[in-house]
Chain A
Amino acid sequence: MFVPHTDTEREQMLRSIGVGSVEKLFDAVPSKYRFPKLDLPQALTEMEAMQQLTDLSLANESARDLACFLGAGAYNHYIPAAVDSIIRRGEFLTAYTPYQPEVSQGTLQAIFEYQSLITNLTGMDVSNASHYDGATATAEAAVMAYHNFRGRRQKFVLSPTVNPQYRETLRTYLQGYEGIEVVGDEKDADPFLRPEDLFSLIDQNTALVVVQYPDFFGRIFDYTALAQKVHEAGALFAVAVNPMALGLFKTPGEFGADIVVGEGQPLGIPMSFGGPYLGIFATRSEFVRKISGRLVGETVDGNGRRGYVLTLTAREQHIRRERATSNICTNQGLIALASTVYMSLLGKNGLREVAELCYHKAHYAAEKIGAIPGYSLCANAPFFHEFLVCCPIPVEEINLHLLDHGILGGYDLGKDYPSLKNHMLIAVTEMNTKEDIDMLCEVLEEVSHE
């Protein structure tokens, strides 16, 4: 389809090679299995493919058609047009990993700027060039902590208020490490626990304590005392963030976090049914050689011109092979670029403004919903743009009604927390108008009467 050769050219090439046919090039393939017949649909032209894909996309209902109050790890934010205009440039889109710095300064400087923005946003000292997503970044934090203590500390404490998918991914990653114990988020753990409730789990065998900020239920806690407790035990403290919240709230750096991970999707990345997203990973200077993933550093060329290179590559798999602590190779280059453009466009005032809009709209919604008979709010702490509502009937039923009214309802927490049956997690962003919110409340009230 995208092969340019004419028959004449193909003949010339075969002559140069000295074989009579293209088939002859495959003599090394066992004849029994050579040239299988593939049962695939016949080729479409571009015009037909566009139609087929459009039809498939129209079989969905999207946040373009529905008022979206669903969050739980992926959020519906506005993405300024300039973001996509930059990442569609072929010079960024179709470049390879910048192993040859002389012809990759665009990608390298953009990653360097990404690292700078994330460092400043999280209040840490250093950021890598990204991981796959929030879940894998969290798992990589655990792997880093494991190696930091050379495997001698074997307990990993997870707050049950960390995104369930992050916790599951972390467990998958740690399966191959012997003697590891992951505690704190057992099925019967109290989902409403406060940071100090984790104190009793932390001891001299603890490698890492992981919390989320805002937590999975949207709550904002000051983790200073917990960080102190973790450090007294000699362990590391990781905080999984929503970067949008950091437009407004204190940084994990101020709490004393050793590692900040997070899902970068809110920073200008479309929800796109779950990916590709962006894994944020930042830490303190003393751990810079223990980070997995790529790092870009500033340097100069032979004429003293400023330039950027991949640095500290001796940590990585292509050099260390089986002695590397991570196999990461490809990261999320283009998505990191999108977030860099997004943060550059919004800047210090814009990001704060969006975070404030989310905050105010979520609080307006929470107050109204809390006043509807049968519904109650469960927040026992300040919250950002997501909150927990205890509902009079199962969440699934409510969401069906909401869908009839063009509303995508909140996340059913009963799926992950047996004690939170009939609890809905509602997310509100700058995209939700007062009208949307009022409509949501109307339908919620209606539903409770049925």
Chain B
Amino acid sequence: MSEPTIYELSSPGRRGVRYPASDVPLSPLPEDCLRKDLPLPELSELDVIRHFTNLSKLNYSIDSGYYPLGSCTMKYNPKINEETARLPGFAFTHPLQPVETVQGNLALMFELQEWLKEISGFASVSLQPAAGAHGEFTGVMIIRAYHLSRNDTKRTKMLIPDSAHGTNPATSAMSGFEVVGIPSDARGNVDLEALKKVCDDQVAGLMLTNPNTLGLFEENILEVIQMVHNVGGLVYGDGANLNALLGIARPGDLGIDVMHFNLHKTFSTPHGGGGPGSGPVGVAKHLADFLPGPIVDIIEEGDDDTPPLYGLVTPPKTIGRVKSFYGHFGMMVRAYTYIAMHGPDGIRQIAENAVLNANYLLSLLRGKYHLAYDRICMHEFVLEGRWDDAPEVHALDISKRLMDYNFHPPTNYFPLIVHEALMIEPTETENKQTLDAFAEAMLKIAEEAHSNPQVLKDAPHNTPVGRLDEVKAAKELVLCCWIPEKDA
């Protein structure tokens, strides 16, 4: 029995919350301007709590189980983050208050900017972008503005390796660039010969994910960056996989010009079932003036007795604002809390153990699953979910069968350059027992794929619903429910 919708649970006249009567005299309402009907449901508080509690039970989540989603960094989200973000002094501040009344917020943002700079090796950071893709858009617009500011108008091409996230080409296109694909070589690196061929004075930049989406560190990273710089292009770093590099290497040191961070991956802010994320952007010195503003800076130095006065400043050649206010402040509080609890050694341990976990898991699965690029991996690796002697089984079937073993599936069908890809990222917060149990389930499924493929094709068997009819959903398009006719 499925959970009814809030509209199906509605009963006319029922109330969930009451408000005090007006303590001021009533003013006449402008009758011509009023709506006739407000078709919202009517429920009690318990109706609402029980409904959403029941819905929550239909979800898989990090708190309830292991989530090996490649490229998503589903690490544990510390509970302290939720407490600090809700401190009244943070949660009840209005974004347009005089800066003198929000020095705590601004100090936190300033320090977070400084910490992100230190971790990444960039000269300047804007916390404004709302998510990874939004940070990417910001970064690509900065590249565009940089070339235009030098009257260099011929740079129309954005180079994108074939292993890139879909957001990279989409971002480039919406920023007005022509996308030029770069193939990967036999070791999973950017193909240097192919790169050389397309490097010319029309190249605006290269969008590089490192480690790439195969989970491999780009072995020729310095040469790749040099080649792009030699023709006057800039290198965008997709920070999606930064978890593997914390305290290991700083993208800014490697020569990357601009990069976004995902506070919701690397710095433990919760994914929330699809947001809110937070996608700050870091840039090298020559791009600092183009950042979206306002960003936080010290506007009056302090001394031994008085703290500095923080204020909001807009960089002189800014690409402009990319959203309202200063970014997802609530997410910044969480990321700040997380970094403060790690310190320099703890930050490096995150990456070390994420990479240790990935290689350990890979060692347990190697031989039973095809591996397109067999190298020491970084924080994730990509298997092929197919066998020549089990032709009817696909990566999707393996994914669905994992649900029966109480695991969330890996990312599947990405990256596109691996057939039937299963992309697995364990993260540093999972213990050895969980990784062993997951490997055991994967090996069991590999065996089932050969002995009883139908059990995979029919999976999942133990979930609240089975495989859903996506064709029907797209064809009939029911995107909204209403108050049932009888009550309307």
A-chain residues with CB within 8 Å of residue B219 when the two chains form the complex: 28
The interface bits of chain A over 118-138 (1 if a CB of B lies within 8 angstroms of the residue's CB, else 0) are 011101011101101111100
A-chain residues with CB within 8 Å of residue B333 when the two chains form the complex: 53
Write 7 A-B pairs (CB below 8 A) sorted by A numbering: A22-B356, A60-B102, A109-B3, A130-B275, A272-B330, A317-B167, A356-B22
The interface bits of chain B over 446-464 (1 if a CB of A lies within 8 angstroms of the residue's CB, else 0) are 0000000000000010011
3 closest cross-chain pairs (CB), A and B? A274-B325, A57-B89, A334-B272
Q: How far is the CB of A330 from chain B (nearest CB, A)?
A: 4
B429 touches A4 (CB 8 A): yes
B348 touches A132 (CB 8 A): no
Name A2's contact: one of B320, B360, B414, B429 (CB within 8 Å).
B429
| Given A50-B80, A168-B321, A273-B93, A97 contacting B19 (CB threshold 8 A) | no
Interface check B298, CB cutoff 8 A: no
**CA gap between A235 and B91 in the complex, in Å:** 41
Count how many chain B residues have C-beta atoms less than 8 Å from C-beta atoms of the other chain: 200
B-chain residues with CB within 8 Å of residue A14 when the two chains form the complex: 356
| Given A115-B479, A168-B321, A321-B169, A25 contacting B470 (CB threshold 8 A) | no
| Given A276-B130, A360-B24, A348 contacting B42 (CB threshold 8 A) | yes
The interface bits of chain A over 355-399 (1 if a CB of B lies within 8 angstroms of the residue's CB, else 0) are 011011101100100000000000000100000000000000001
**CA gap between A307 and B455 in the complex, in Å:** 22
Name A4's contact: one of B5, B179, B431 (CB within 8 Å).
B431
| Given A276-B328, A382-B33, A309 contacting B321 (CB threshold 8 A) | no
Interface check B137, CB cutoff 8 A: yes
Q: How far is the CB of A146 from chain B (nearest CB, A)?
A: 10
**CA gap between A308 and B5 in the complex, in Å:** 12
Interface check A450, CB cutoff 8 A: no
**Which of B80, B95, B133 gathers the greatest number of chain A CB atoms within 10 Å?**
B95
Name B403's contact: one of A30, A85, A100 (CB within 8 Å).
A100
A305 touches B356 (CB 8 A): no
> Which residue on chain B has the smallest CB distance to residue A433?
B23
> Which residue on chain A has the smallest CB distance to residue B38?
A348
| Given A57-B87, A364-B27, A133 contacting B130 (CB threshold 8 A) | yes
A-chain residues with CB within 8 Å of residue B41 when the two chains form the complex: 344, 347-348
Interface check A352, CB cutoff 8 A: yes
B98 touches A403 (CB 8 A): yes
A86 touches B59 (CB 8 A): no
Q: How far is the CB of A309 from chain B (nearest CB, A)?
A: 5
A307 touches B93 (CB 8 A): no
Name B169's contact: one of A89, A273, A305, A322 (CB within 8 Å).
A322
A-chain residues with CB within 8 Å of residue B61 when the two chains form the complex: 90-95
> Which applies to chain B's interface (DSSP): helix, strand, loop or mixed?
loop
| Given A64-B88, A73-B324, A98 contacting B482 (CB threshold 8 A) | no
A13 touches B55 (CB 8 A): no
Interface check A448, CB cutoff 8 A: no
A-chain residues with CB within 8 Å of residue B465 when the two chains form the complex: 101-102, 105, 301, 305, 307
**CA gap between A5 and B432 in the complex, in Å:** 7
A248 touches B271 (CB 8 A): no
**CA gap between A1 and B477 in the complex, in Å:** 46
B118 touches A275 (CB 8 A): no
Find residues 256-312 in chain A having any chain B CB closer than 8 Å to their own CB.
263, 270-277, 288, 294-303, 305-309, 311-312
A82 touches B49 (CB 8 A): yes
A-chain residues with CB within 8 Å of residue B77 when the two chains form the complex: 93-94
Interface check B247, CB cutoff 8 A: yes
Interface check A220, CB cutoff 8 A: yes
A72 touches B96 (CB 8 A): yes
A309 touches B473 (CB 8 A): yes
**CA gap between A143 and B406 in the complex, in Å:** 41
B-chain residues with CB within 8 Å of residue A126 when the two chains form the complex: 479-480
> Which residue on chain B has the smallest CB distance to residue A59?
B104
Q: How far is the CB of B487 from chain A (nearest CB, A)?
A: 11
A-chain residues with CB within 8 Å of residue B467 when the two chains form the complex: 102, 301-302
Name A305's contact: one of B85, B96, B172, B466 (CB within 8 Å).
B466
A50 touches B84 (CB 8 A): yes
A-chain residues with CB within 8 Å of residue B477 when the two chains form the complex: 288, 297, 311-312
Interface check A52, CB cutoff 8 A: yes
Interface check A345, CB cutoff 8 A: yes
B91 touches A272 (CB 8 A): yes
Q: How far is the CB of A14 from chain B (nearest CB, A)?
A: 7
A103 touches B470 (CB 8 A): no
The interface bits of chain B over 159-190 (1 if a CB of A lies within 8 angstroms of the residue's CB, else 0) are 00000011101111111110100000000000
B76 touches A42 (CB 8 A): no
| Given A115-B479, A272-B93, A273-B95, A347 contacting B14 (CB threshold 8 A) | yes
Name A17's contact: one of B30, B119, B347, B360 (CB within 8 Å).
B360
B43 touches A359 (CB 8 A): no
Interface check B364, CB cutoff 8 A: yes
B324 touches A275 (CB 8 A): yes
A98 touches B272 (CB 8 A): no
Interface check B306, CB cutoff 8 A: no
* Known contacts A41-B340, A87-B272, A322-B169; 8 further A-B pairs (Cβ under 8 A): A1-B346, A62-B92, A86-B52, A172-B319, A309-B468, A333-B275, A348-B38, A350-B17
Name A250's contact: one of B33, B131, B141, B177 (CB within 8 Å).
B33
Interface check A337, CB cutoff 8 A: yes
Name B19's contact: one of A125, A297, A302, A350 (CB within 8 Å).
A350
Interface check A205, CB cutoff 8 A: no
**CA gap between A163 and B321 in the complex, in Å:** 13
Q: How far is the CB of B408 from chain A (nearest CB, A)?
A: 6
**CA gap between A259 and B102 in the complex, in Å:** 36
Find residues 317-335 in chain A having any chain B CB closer than 8 Å to their own CB.
317-335
| Given A105-B59, A311-B470, A270 contacting B348 (CB threshold 8 A) | no
**Which of B15, B40, B432 gathers the greatest number of chain A CB atoms within 10 Å?**
B40
**Which of A44, A91, A254, A327 gathers the greatest number of chain B CB atoms within 10 Å?**
A327
A-chain residues with CB within 8 Å of residue B76 when the two chains form the complex: 2
> Which residue on chain A has the smallest CB distance to residue B255?
A33
**CA gap between A169 and B319 in the complex, in Å:** 10
Q: How far is the CB of B27 from chain A (nearest CB, A)?
A: 4
B137 touches A327 (CB 8 A): yes
A30 touches B221 (CB 8 A): yes
